[in-house]
Amino acid sequence: MTPTSVAGLLAAELPHVAAATGTASLAWLLFVLPAAGALVLFVAGRRADAWGHWLGLLTVVASFVVGLLIFLETTGLAPEERTRELSLFEWIAVGDLSVDFGLRLDPLSLTFVLLITGVGGLIHLYSVGYMSHDPGRRRFFAQLNLFVAAMLLLVLGNNFVMLYLGWEGVGLASYLLIGFYQDRPSAATAAKKAFLMNRVGDVGLAIAIFLLWTNLGTLQYTEVFARVGEMSGGTILAITVLLLLGACGKSGQFPLQAWLPDAMEGPTPVSALIHAATMVTAGVYLIARTHPIYDLTETGRLVVALIGVITLLIGAIIGCAYDDIKKVLAYSTVSQIGYMILAVGLGPAGYALGIFHLLTHGFFKAGLFLGAGSVMHAMNDDVDMRRFGGLYRYMPITFVTFGLGYLALIGFPFLSGYFSKDEIIAASFGQPGWQGWVFGGAATLAAGLTAFYMTRLMFMTFFGEKRWEKLKSADGHDYHPHESPAVMTIPMIVLAVGSVGAGYVLSSGHLLVDWLAPTLGELEEPHGGAIPHEYVPFLVVGFSALGVLIAWLTVGRRTTPVERPEPVSLPVRAARKDLYANAINEALIARPGTWLARALVYFDNRGVDGVVNGTAALLGGSSGRLRRLQTGFVRSYALSMLGGGVLVVAALLAVRFA
């Protein structure tokens, strides 16, 4: 805890960050537009029911346009001039602590701005159709707008407190939207669980911020990153692990992954935007953003990579066992973010790759969720794939777009996932010693599992017997599968195009990696390691093909029973129970916590308050006298005041004339 003085920090030591000019000086519009939309929708109430969704869509699209203009302006600058800051006002200032309400416009944040507002705009459009019959549509758009605004603050902030503002802001939006169907107790519980598990992570983020302030006397990114070297190795390691805890909470990483599958209680567009494409990737953003700290600690990076590896395996294994289409996609998300976390855990060899996979995943996973929503829309909101089957004939656009997203996710050659995931696996194999084998091996294995569970999902949903024909849905209706309206299919088509082409476009000529280099540094090409770079694609494609083959043998060519088969083998049972994550949380935290709280109430009422009342009774001579004191209180009170007054005067006189 060495005291530091900001006075010792000379401005000359800081890297040059230009003030934002030109279009970039309008960057505040990026988050103000959706925030204003949310405010209007919240305040206007029912009066806005008729047009609220269009306002919500419009503000996000406008924000996208502003983002695109700033992006285009930035591409015209020399790489070293692409980092600019826009200070709006001084937010919190006490003593030497000065927290700026400021924005940082650099390649990393602008990449996120385009992802958030672009995919966000598409999902807003989709929701116009998806929520058209929902009486709460205006509230939905208000909350979705709030989310976009908070997420933009998260990625645009130029200091750690702004990050925290956005961080908990998206947590709030996520809480509201998971619990959107407030009538359903399961939705309310899932929302609360998400917020609480996120807060566990937030504690880590908060303490990391306190450590930075204590050691560096500043929380502005520019100053912190310029001076990270002043901190001791132990402090740096502690900060990286605490930041990782925050990332685990937000991104559903082990050991805080259990909330994300439950978050599927929210409307499906929410799952697509918040719980697949953007918010849950904030943990990856956090580590990439703070990479100057991670650069200094190999151990810290190793912890990150290990968490990523554990999570990508957990997600892929559990994804194989679920019959709920959204839960399979949710565990797939857990697993894919595990890949991204693994990537940024590889350090300079992986930061940009993590962001690359984040972008392609944003396209294909958002598309898959929208496709799942389209299927649910057609199937009376059912999510049980055992009741689906043969749907490709009834909803061709959904089938094709979903199918392209599926191929992108399993890494079909030359589609998006092929480029981004393979590069992460190749970089993992490129690590020295045991790490190369463990990281690369696990990532390859999980790629095979991914191919298995996604192929299983495809077979159960779109192919095979039409199992729904003989069934009725939960509310007693027949199923009449049909294609969704254009307002829903257009976003799906756009995302499908991205799922196909984004990987190729972004990787050709190192387009993305070079664009991000001013923020994340040059990408270190892996050389040597466990398996040479050029063999990795064959290995991964081989494993994926194996996964597809096994899915064909076990699911595709057999009839799927409508009822879930029981009993099943131990691994399947474990996977169906989320590898016991909820049971462990329940046994270790929830139940002891409840007991403790109850015991404390007893202690407080009987113990602490008992002592108080007992003492009072003793002082009063007996509890009977205390009661009398209560009944004739005003007289007693007057008497005690008089007595007190006499005492005071006597004491003063004694002092005075002693």
Partner 1 sequence: MTGGSVLLLILLVLPLIGALVVAPMTGNPRGAKLVAMGFALASLVLTIITWLAYSPAAVESGSRFQLELSVPWIPAFGTSFALGIDGIALVMLALIAVLIPIVMGFSWNQEIPEGRTESGFFALLLTTQGLLVGVFAATDVFLFYVFFEAMLIPMYFLIGRFGGPRRQYAAVKFFLYSLLGGLIMLASVIGLYVVSGTALGEATFSWTELQSIAATVPESTQIWLFLGFFVAFAIKAPLVPFHTWLPDAGAEAPIGAGVLLVGVLDKVGTFGFLRYCLPLFPLASQRLAPLVLVLAVVGILYAALLAVAQSDLKRFVSYTSIAHFGFIALGIFAFSSQSLAGATLYMVNHGITTGMLFIVIGFLIVRGGSRLIGDYGGVHKLAPLLAGTFLLAGLASLALPGTNSFVSEFLVLVGSYPREPVYTILATVGIIFAALYVLWVYQQTMQGPVRGAAVLGALERAGGPGTMIAPEAAAKKGAFPDLSGRELAVLTPLIVLIIALGFFPGPVLDVINPSVVATMNEVGLADPVGGIR
Question: Quick one: 142 or 541, whose CB is closer to partner 1?
Answer: 142
Question: Quick one: 183 or 563, whose CB is closer to partner 1?
Answer: 183
Nearest Cα neighbor of 167 from 247, 91, 56, 77 is: 247
Question: Quick one: 160 or 439, whose CB is closer to partner 1?
Answer: 160
Tell me how far apart the alpha carbons of residues 402 and 368 are, in angstroms, rounded to a whole number.
5
Nearest distance in Å: CB 153, partner 1: 9
Nearest Cα neighbor of 258 from 176, 193, 310, 305 is: 193
Q: Which residues pair with 86 in a beta bridge?
A: 103
Nearest distance in Å: CB 561, partner 1: 33
For residue 545, give the 3-state DSSP assignment: helix
Cβ atoms of 207 and 166 within 8 Å: the answer is no
Nearest distance in Å: CB 246, partner 1: 12
Question: Quick one: 184 or 558, whose CB is closer to partner 1?
Answer: 184
Nearest distance in Å: CB 277, partner 1: 23
Nearest distance in Å: CB 344, partner 1: 25
Neighbours of 22 (CB within 10 A): 13
Question: Quick one: 568 or 616, whose CB is closer to partner 1?
Answer: 616
Question: Quick one: 72 or 596, whose CB is closer to partner 1?
Answer: 596
Question: Quick one: 214 or 473, whose CB is closer to partner 1?
Answer: 214
Question: Quick one: 206 or 572, whose CB is closer to partner 1?
Answer: 206
Nearest distance in Å: CB 11, partner 1: 16
Tell me how far apart the alpha carbons of residues 376 and 395 are, in angstroms, rounded to a whole number.
11
Nearest distance in Å: CB 237, partner 1: 16
Question: Quick one: 37 or 347, whose CB is closer to partner 1?
Answer: 37
Nearest distance in Å: CB 51, partner 1: 20
Residue 474 main-chain phi, psi, to 5 deg: -55, -35
For residue 18, give the 3-state DSSP assignment: strand
* Contacts for 649 with CB less than 8 Å, ≥ 6 apart: none
Radius of gyration of the chain, Cα coordinates, nearest whole angstrom: 29
Tell me how far apart the alpha carbons of residues 489 and 397 are, in angstroms, rounded to a whole number.
7
CA-to-CA dists, residue 373 to 9, 269, 384, angstroms: 54, 7, 13
H or E segment at 90? strand 84-94
H or E segment at 92? strand 84-94
Nearest distance in Å: CB 260, partner 1: 17
Q: Which residues pair with 104 in a beta bridge?
A: 85
CA 186 to chain centre: 20
